[in-house]
Amino acid sequence: MTTAKDLFIIAMDPRPEHSVGQGDLSLALAGAELIDLIDAGAVTVDEDRIVPGEPSGPQDALLREAAERLTRESPHERIEDWLWRRGRDLSAAYQAALEEDGELSRKRSGRLPFGPKRVEPVDTPARRAAAERWEEREPVLAALASAVGVEGGRPEDTKDTKDTEAVENAEGTENTEHEPGFDDDAVTAVVTAVHDAVMELEAVRQRRTIENSAFANLWRGP
């Protein structure tokens, strides 16, 4: 599967400490798509601009849609702008696609037959491949997961030195300099932009919370 689909499956971890906001995940999915397009040679990055190459048709439908939506006219789109534009409601699109492919299923939480349904990954070869990539701390997947607040991987009793080193590499991707573990500076630029966009989204949330609280206090009065 694609990096974006692997990321979505990892983000579906049911543990409470791994709860991921849909807006954060959408931004990271857009970054994952861009990294896959870079790896495929479909785009290059000139400073912070996305420069499309020759039109191509990735086999994955969502990745193909992403390629078709690239801005081909100069001046080319900035990475940050792509993340916000492409990322709009992108997590919902990936959920629908993975459910259609049989990679996700809806199950009722709790024992009651009328309880709310939750989405869970199905035990498929694709899910196991995503889990293996995650457990091995593949640097790109680890860095994107870290951006949306998903940390950890293997249980504590099975982690080794290799895991620790890979985590350190992934956590260092907030810097703008080239970091070990990434193939090129273009990938580093995308991961950095994802981290920045998620932080910006969190800042907006906090500002709205403060504004709403102040408004509520105004109505309550002294």
Q: For residues 92 and 26, what is the distance between their CA atoms, to the nearest angstrom? A: 8
What's the confidence (pLDDT) of residue 110?
53
**pTM for the whole structure:** 0.77
State pLDDT tens for residues 171-214: 443 443 334 357 689 999 999 999 999 999 888 878 777 766 66
pLDDT of residue 215: 55
pLDDT < 70 positions in the chain: 14-19, 108-117, 152-181, 183, 211-222
Each residue of 131-142: pLDDT tens digit? 999 999 999 999
For 38, counting Cβ atoms within 10 Å of its Cβ (0-12 exposed, 13-18 middle, 19+ buried), the class is buried
User: What is the pairing mode between strands 117-121 and 43-46?
Assistant: unpaired
Kindly state the helix (H) or strand (E) to which residue 140 belongs, with its residue range. helix 139-147
Nearest partner of 194 among 176, 179, 208, 210, judged by Cα: 176
The neighbour count for residue 93, using CB atoms within 10 Å, is 17
